[in-house]
Amino acid sequence: MSSRLLRDPVPGHAVRFGDLLDDVELLLDRLVLPGLGGGPLVVLGHSMGGHLAAHLLARRPRLFARGILCAPMMGFLPRHGLGQQVIRAAAVAACLVPGVAGRPGPGTSRLPPLDRPFKGNPLTGCPDRYASDAAWMREQAALQVGGASWGWLRAASASMAALMRPAVVREITVPVLVLVAGDDRLVDNRATRRFAAGLPQGT
């Protein structure tokens, strides 16, 4: 139920992932650390949260004792033969056109989250989890988040390229457990494995 960057609150949109990291660091510095009396902490993140958690491990190496990254977003699963570089170039080019950055990106369903069928969804193979999420959204419409915008795609691609640089990966010196989902239909597990292999203490 966070504030949104677009007039339409449903699309998942971002300008730069650095803004998201700044928000998390503000939360840590203003609320978490004063309440705990200091660190060290263990950070756990899933999917895009796992991507951001990895950035935090590199940005604040002394703050965390351990990291757990569950299906972290280190690359998009190639679709229709389009690789990471092509996707990033397309997103950058699309966002140069006025008004396009906030529009739904390629492959994004135009249906509101509540109107999408379970069959064929790329997020979960569990119908009970899917139904549970729908029940929450019916109760509180502000919880709905739709597909990614072109702007989010551009921001995510830039953030992944920055994070996957070997020099950045080596800065994450604490022990990190990396988990992948074998049937993942969104995140590229090969990119995740490359990231994990470059960690000084990655499992």
Dihedral, CA of residue 68, residue 29, residue 14 and residue 143, to nearest 10: 80
Radius of gyration from C-alpha coordinates of the chain: 17
CA 81: distance to chain centroid? 22
Helix (H) or strand (E) holding 167: helix 166-169
Q: Measuring CA to CA, how many Å separate 56 from each of 63, 68, 144?
A: 9, 12, 26
In this prediction, residue 81 carries a pLDDT of 60
pLDDT in tens, the chain (203 residues): 788 888 888 888 999 999 999 999 999 999 999 888 766 899 999 999 999 999 999 999 889 999 999 999 999 887 656 677 888 888 899 999 999 999 988 877 766 677 788 888 888 889 999 999 889 988 998 888 888 899 999 999 999 999 999 999 999 999 999 999 988 888 999 999 999 999 999 99
In this prediction, residue 48 carries a pLDDT of 95
Q: What pTM was estimated for this model as a whole?
A: 0.90
